[in-house]
Chain A
């Protein structure tokens, strides 16, 4: 009978497997019921050979058979730039734009295309040259604008993808699309999929952490929705843990007033013993998971404050990230946190920064925006490289779409220049973890309007990211509402050209 229930979906947690695990756990407990303090239990479960089976119910174990092949990256830090950075002004240098500056956008570029309601029909909109000059950098000669001097210096560690394109023209659907493969909320995001598939290698931290920041004084900060790091229909243990931008990054982490750690420890030990009694009576494996999760919670009470305690960071490291690094909640601080999380084995760090929505502030707020993110992004790369972590850590920098090569606003009013949403071509970059460094992949046309050479669709990017983590994107599935779902929906092609 049991086998019958399992043939339907090999990927869903199966009763048989659960049963198997319970047996293993019981054997473990029977052998060790005396002599091992329950306090030590969690770390034993996590670290020794049993971890592969014992933690099916906690965060730690991935699916059998995964990774599908040898991974090039073990973890990901996604520096997500909410609001859509302007590829035209930052990375995708087009000489011709200066020549056509102020001329109407040629119809053949936008015919039949959809724009945000703010632009509506682009007919008659005037082309706008990049705000800052570009220069070539490094051995690779990558074009990067003067907006981003630090990233420019790291160009040789970077692979730029200049032919990105998306289906969505508004922020939330586009971000959701990029992170979960669907424009409408409710699907698991990349980090959830990876933890579901590969498990969480961290001993005392969640496997998927999200952090957010916004440039000060920005007028275009969008909302950070929980579903950006949601687990959708996957079990909730896979959702991203939101680390908040304060000294107290995890909710409910602090003991209540009047409860010192040693008091708490005694309480937890007794609690574990009491729960164990109930397990013996009922044989319910969930009770054992509960005991282990209380231990994880307890460990996070230590590990998270330790994580956020920067006293062990020397100044020369902190300085890599720029002056804001000491201020919790800034992008710089979050970049440093990302490295510290990666060091502790966290599988997927989603570091999101909002404020890139320059509809009318290319010549004003974009400077602040770049200043807040440029040095921290480059600093993270340097720091990882210094520690030898860049080889197996994949860093991704980019937004949900690009911005129009034509203007939004009055071309004679420079202080209010802006660009609208533009999904037909944009640039992101990747570094480390199995990516060809010092290269550029794909291209947009001569106006930066449409991705023309080796276009990389959002689903292709997702397929490639999974591939770098050792996963065949077509094989990582979960059944919900009557069908198997995947991150890449029914699309996606691995971009072999960016893989080293």
Chain B
């Protein structure tokens, strides 16, 4: 046995010597690298039974640690460093005894080939060194290697790539021509092909730095954010429907726009991460952060009647763990749901501890997820404010001031309606104002105290001399109705308005408001400026400046959206308006007169009737109140009386009518306001380990939020407080986290080079692929972190490198050794993503609507495609106007019935994190490009464009069309083929004008009636041929 074993070992070494050593030529040829050569072998073939999952472990043997592999198994060991012949592992993998000895066992379906066996033996002879899995090692920047061909190097990326190419005895490809580069950059950075006028200056610019200038221009183009959003939306599984069962529609498009804006603004990745995972927990949070926190709501949910809430809670928790680990860590923590991870050191405890971070998210387990953020557009804000202004117009101000006061007055001791007020409260939507037991003493003294306190800027509740005023303001200010104050000011002077809002840090309550001074003219500014908040102790201080247009200035606080309502009450601590050089005076408000008189008269009439015991037909509460003398009435009696009479008085009839109409308008506008599902918190639900992932099993141990135990800096908090999503997010973007930066730059590499440096974008772990250029990957990761997570910086580095600029043309000598193009000695080429296929057709034809953001769009879709959607039944009504021509990424994303054209081009249904799309090449794609009305219409409109703008000869027109679609002139052969096609099509359409008319009127876009239908029809065939070329929608 021992003899034969030696024999086999040497045979193995022999086989090994024949292996293609191109890859391992990196350093020290032939030497085993554990990460590259051995770990994948062990992981694939052994770890399922001899790996980190201790429940599955067989024969008490672990091969994932050196300690385990070397451990004494009873007089022998699996691995004896330096001595393959004495290592049981070697005996077993070489065994010819199928039943007992052989490893891996034949019934496992796994089998080592002779080269793999040789590798394992060589590894043991070389000492059986283990190494921490590459992705979990600290990210470390090595200095870029030296290369022979220095002239190739533009930036350091080129050194890493070129070194490998040179070692293999090859040279890089030449730089691609300008047109190819321009098209490549357009597709890669903007997601659509360029029009000639967009690239001509670059193509003809021979000055140094022309390329860099062009790249910069594209990085600053708003289309960049749209293009980059696509890959992110795949990762976070963004969709417009809930996924399970009814797959009901939900509105979350604001999140999509947040992603687009973030890429365009070049938001640092750490901030981008924190806002999404924990925007709702940030101290400084505005609407943007709330929208970002919608990330936590993007998962699939159910509304199915019979579904069990407990089960779906478990499903949601697991979904979130899979997604957060996939998106940010490039890890498959999801595998640890039922058992410890078989290939990576993630335990089941890690899985459920990660789930616990999300246990505070308030949501409906089974049922509708109600929108909890309103996001009015600027136009809507202006419209709403304008209607509210109308509600507050002259007469109405008087009434409404009264209305507000009348209600307030009930609790004001010692003050009468005839008393002097220095502050006018204007309550717009009186019906919902509840003053309750507020004690209100608006004396001059208290207002003085109020303003002086403001000037000190202390903003501390305790400093207020008059707590009740503060309380009143806060009650009004944070209700659903605006509050206005009128100040006497000097025309033409500038005033500074300052608001101090106290908002306890522990509060889960957040509210936006806008500030309005004297109507629309300053609204926009104030809305924008008011968002500039700084933190002062526990208070938010908002400061805005405005010019006085009159001698009075009305400051209106217009409440916005409430986030959360469970605890904590934000309080408007103080408000001040001051001239830059002086103090404002407060003036008297205007008062009502007619109504008060009419009411007094009515009261006495009613009283008379009552005394005469006549029928009054009044509610008993009103009668009771009237019976009591004015001074003795209780607050609620006063209120009841006022409310009733206001509703019937003839002096208020006109106002009532007008106001009702305005309120209806207001409601209508408010109905159209965009909503969003954002993250709100509640008391964290208990999270326990579910044995074997079984949600029915309550026997598992309870866990608290924690990050995977084996990763660095895993102790998130020292203070004993329960760790939350914000802690998680900060840990994810901690520079010491080895996974986050690697996962990100690896994906960026894939976007611009076709495959990731580690080709498994969703798994940097043991079952992933060791990077082809580990030092480059780490170099980029460090570069990313050290530049404050600057995403555009990484993109810029990649696309300005020499490697990126190479031609993608096949090279025979490379094909033989590097068919997968992992050496990057040429650029990759591929068909572009589904969205870009659509964008290309619309762009080339001129139909594309360029407009960032907005509601999801509904392009043409075959009738009845949604027929099987139920609960409720619904119909796809394609967009009629310009919305029909939106970019692909805005397409309404229905998870169960994704638009068939998107689906055909491999857009994922986004049920799960999709780090990488497949690139299929199917007959369905051909049918889409040839027959989907979108493409039929585009070719028709393109034909019209060609005829109208392409010149007078067919040759000139063809050239114009080629330049527009392909950025180049046709080759002679191409010209001949297409002119031939044109001729034959013209001939046939000439014979059948009716057919031509049908072809020339495809789609809803207005036809160019000056053109002859047979010409449009024939040219549509030519334009269609051009648009269907592989080249048109591919990136070379």
Q: Which of A19, A254, A483 contacts B815 (CB 8 A)?
A: A19
User: Contact between B995 and A236 (Cβ–Cβ < 8 Å)?
Assistant: no
Chain A minimum-CB-distance residue to B1036? A282
The segment from A264-272, A343-351, A372-380 that touches chain B is A264-272
Let me know if A227 is at the binding interface, CB within 8 A.
Answer: yes
Count of A-B residue pairs with CB < 8 Å: 244
B696 touches A282 (CB 8 A): no
Q: Is the CB of B921 within 8 A of A237?
A: yes
Q: Which of B319-377 contact A (CB under 8 A)?
A: 326, 332, 334-335, 342-344
| Contact among A114, A206, A294, A479 for B926, CB-based, below 8 A | A294
* Residue among B113, B911, B931, B1000 having the largest count of chain A Cβ atoms under 10 Å: B931
Cross-chain contact B831 with A483 (CB below 8 angstroms):
no
Nearest Cβ on chain B to A360's Cβ, whole angstroms: 14
- Measured in the bound complex, the distance between the Cα atoms of B829 and A223 in whole Å is 40
Contacting chain A: which of B739-747, B841-849, B892-900?
A: B892-900
Report the separation of the CA atoms of residues A3 and B16 in the bound assembly, to the nearest whole angstrom: 12
B999 at the interface (CB under 8 A from A): yes
Contacts of A184 in B (CB 8 A): 315
A278 pairs with B819, CB closer than 8 A = no
Q: Which of B465-473, B782-790, B1026-1034 lines the interface with chain A?
A: B1026-1034
Find chain A residues with CB under 8 A from B951 CB. Answer: none
User: Is B977 a contact partner of A270 (Cβ separation < 8 A)?
Assistant: yes
Nearest opposing residue in chain A for B763, CB measure = A482
- Give the contact stretch, choosing among A157-165, A244-252, A436-444: A244-252
Tell me which of B244, B763, B1030 has the highest count of chain A C-beta atoms within 10 A of its own C-beta.
Answer: B1030
Neighbouring A residues of B168 by C-beta, 8 Å = 1
* Chain A contacts with B in 411-449, Cβ cutoff 8 A: none
Whether A226 lies near B44 (C-beta < 8 A) is: no
Pick the interface stretch among B83-91, B303-311, B554-562.
Answer: B303-311
List the B residue with the shortest CB-CB distance to A291. B1030
Residue of B22, B315, B831, B1025 with most chain A CB atoms under a 10 A cut-off? B1025
Contact with A along B187-208 (1 / 0, CB 8 A): 0000000000000000000000
**Cβ-closest chain A residue relative to B808:** A282
In contact, B931 and A256 (Cβ under 8 angstroms): yes
Q: A364: which B residues are within 8 A, CB to CB?
A: none
Indicate if the CB atoms of A282 and B809 lie closer than 8 Å: yes
**B765 and A252 form a contact (CB under 8 A):** no
Judge whether B864 is part of the interface by a CB distance below 8 angstroms. Answer: yes
- Provide the bound-state CA to CA distance between A226 and B243, in Å: 11
A157 to B342, CA, bound (A): 45
Complex contacts, A185 vs chain B, CB 8 Å = 243, 911
Q: A481 near B332 (CB under 8 angstroms)? A: yes
Main SS class of interface, B: loop
Residue B869 lies at the interface, judged by CB distance under 8 Å to chain A: yes
Q: Is the CB of A18 within 8 A of B921?
A: no
Given contacts A186-B912, A237-B920, A256-B933, contact A479 B767 (CB under 8 A): yes
Most buried by A among B818, B981, B1000: B981
Interface presence of B494 (CB below 8 A): no
What separation, in Å, do the CA atoms of A490 and B681 have in the docked complex?
A: 38
Encode contact with B along A248-264: 1 for CB under 8 Å, 0 otherwise: 00111111111110111
Closest CB of chain B to A246's CB: distance in Å?
7
Which residue of chain A is the closest to B344 with respect to CB atoms?
Answer: A482
* Beta-carbon nearest neighbor of A258 in chain B: B999
Which residue of chain B is the closest to A8 with respect to CB atoms? B40
Chain A residues within an 8 Å CB radius of B974: 274, 277
Smallest CB separation, B255 vs chain A (Å): 22
Contact partners of A300 in chain B: CB under 8 A: 923, 927
Query: B22 and A1: CB pair below 8 A?
Result: yes
How many whole Å from B245's CB to the nearest CB in chain A? 6
Closest partner residue, chain A, to B985 (CB atom)? A263
Chain A residues in 8 Å Cβ range of B808: 282
Q: Mark B757-779, 1 if CB is under 8 A from A, else 0.
A: 00010110111110000000000
Instruction: Report Cα–Cα, A267/B923, bound state, in Å.
Output: 16
| Contact among A1, A5, A236, A253 with B906 in the assembled complex (CB-CB below 8 Å) | A236
A292 to chain B, nearest CB (A): 9
Contact assessment for A225 and B810 in the assembled complex, using a CB-CB cutoff below 8 Å: no
Instruction: Determine if A110 is an interface residue (Cβ-Cβ < 8 Å).
Output: no
Give bound CA distance, A191 to B1, whole Å: 48
CA distance A368 to B519 in the complex (A): 67
Closest A-chain residue to B927, C-beta based? A252
| Complex Cα gap A290–B708 (Å) | 45
In whole angstroms, how far apart are the Cα atoms of A15 and B243 in the complex?
35
Cα(A4)–Cα(B759), bound, Å: 13
CB-CB < 8 A to A282: which residues of B?
A: 808-810, 829, 1036
Q: Mark B206-226, 1 if CB is under 8 A from A, else 0.
A: 000000000000000000000
Residues of B near A270 (CB, < 8 A) are 977-978, 980-981, 1025
B1005 CB, min distance to chain A CBs, angstroms:
14
- A118-B928 Cα distance, complex, nearest whole Å: 44
Bound complex: CA of A224 vs CA of B247, how far in Å? 12
Q: Are B896 and A271 in contact (CB under 8 A)?
A: no
When the two chains form their complex, are residues A226 and B984 in contact, meaning their CB atoms are under 8 A apart?
no
Whether, in the assembled complex, A286 has its beta carbon less than 8 Å from a beta carbon of chain B, the answer is yes
Q: Residue A105 at the B interface, CB < 8 A?
A: no
- Docked complex: A290-344 residues within 8 A CB-CB of B: 290, 293-294, 296-298, 300-301
Q: Tell me whether B920 and A235 are in contact (CB under 8 A).
A: yes
Enumerate chain A residues within 8 angstroms of B898, measured Cβ to Cβ: 226
Chain B residues near A8 (CB-CB < 8 A): 40, 44, 769
Q: Which residue of B lies closest to A238 (CB)?
A: B920
Residues 903-923 (chain B) with a chain A CB within 8 angstroms: 903-904, 906, 909, 911-912, 918, 920-923
Name A165-189 residues within 8 Å CB distance of B: 170, 172, 184-186
From B343, B925, B998, A258 is in contact (CB under 8 Å) with B998
Residues of A within 8 A of B620 (CB): none
B155 at the interface (CB under 8 A from A): no
In the complex, which residue of chain B has the Cβ closest to the Cβ of A293? B923
Report if A386 contacts B (CB, 8 A). Answer: no
Contact A257 B1002 (CB under 8 A): yes
Indicate if the CB atoms of A297 and B930 lie closer than 8 Å.
yes
Given the complex, which residues of B lie within 8 Å of A475, measured CB to CB?
A: 109
**Chain B contacts with A in 943-989, Cβ cutoff 8 A:** 971, 973-974, 977-978, 980-981, 984-985, 988
Residues 779-821 of B, flagged 1 when their CB comes within 8 A of A and 0 if not, give 0000000000000000000000000000011100001111111
Tell me which residues across on chain B come within 8 A of A226, comparing CB atoms. 896-898, 903, 909
Q: Which residues of A contact B116 (CB under 8 A)?
A: 7
Say whether, besides A256-B999, A284-B810, A16 and B819 are in contact (CB < 8 Å).
yes
Residue numbers in A under 8 Å from B865 (CB-CB):
251
Query: Closest CB-CB distance, A270 to chain B, in whole Å?
Result: 5
Specify which chain B residues have a CB less than 8 angstroms from the CB of A296 in the assembled complex.
Answer: 923, 926
Asked if A452 lies at the interface with its beta carbon under 8 angstroms from chain B, I say no
Residues on A with beta carbons closer than 8 Å to the beta carbon of B981: 266-267, 270
CB nearest to B108 among chain A residues: A474
Q: Which residues of A contact B113 (CB under 8 A)?
A: 7
Given contacts A1-B822, A264-B930, 19 further A-B contacts (CB under 8 A): A1-B22, A2-B817, A2-B818, A8-B40, A118-B306, A184-B315, A236-B903, A236-B918, A251-B924, A256-B931, A256-B999, A260-B995, A266-B985, A270-B977, A270-B978, A271-B1029, A282-B810, A482-B332, A483-B335
26 A-B pairs in the complex with CB atoms less than 8 angstroms apart: A1-B168, A4-B20, A7-B115, A170-B304, A212-B868, A223-B247, A236-B904, A237-B920, A237-B922, A241-B924, A246-B864, A260-B988, A266-B984, A266-B985, A266-B1021, A270-B977, A271-B1028, A278-B1030, A287-B1030, A293-B921, A296-B923, A296-B926, A297-B924, A482-B760, A483-B332, A483-B342
Going nearest first, the 5 A-B pairs with the smallest beta carbon separation are: A258-B999, A283-B810, A15-B820, A258-B998, A297-B926
**A-to-B contact residues, CB < 8 Å:** 1-5, 7-8, 15-16, 18-19, 22, 57-59, 114, 116-118, 170, 172, 184-186, 206, 212, 221-227, 230, 235-237, 241, 244, 246, 250-260, 262-264, 266-267, 270-271, 273-275, 277-278, 281-284, 286-287, 289-290, 293-294, 296-298, 300-301, 472, 474-475, 477, 479, 481-483
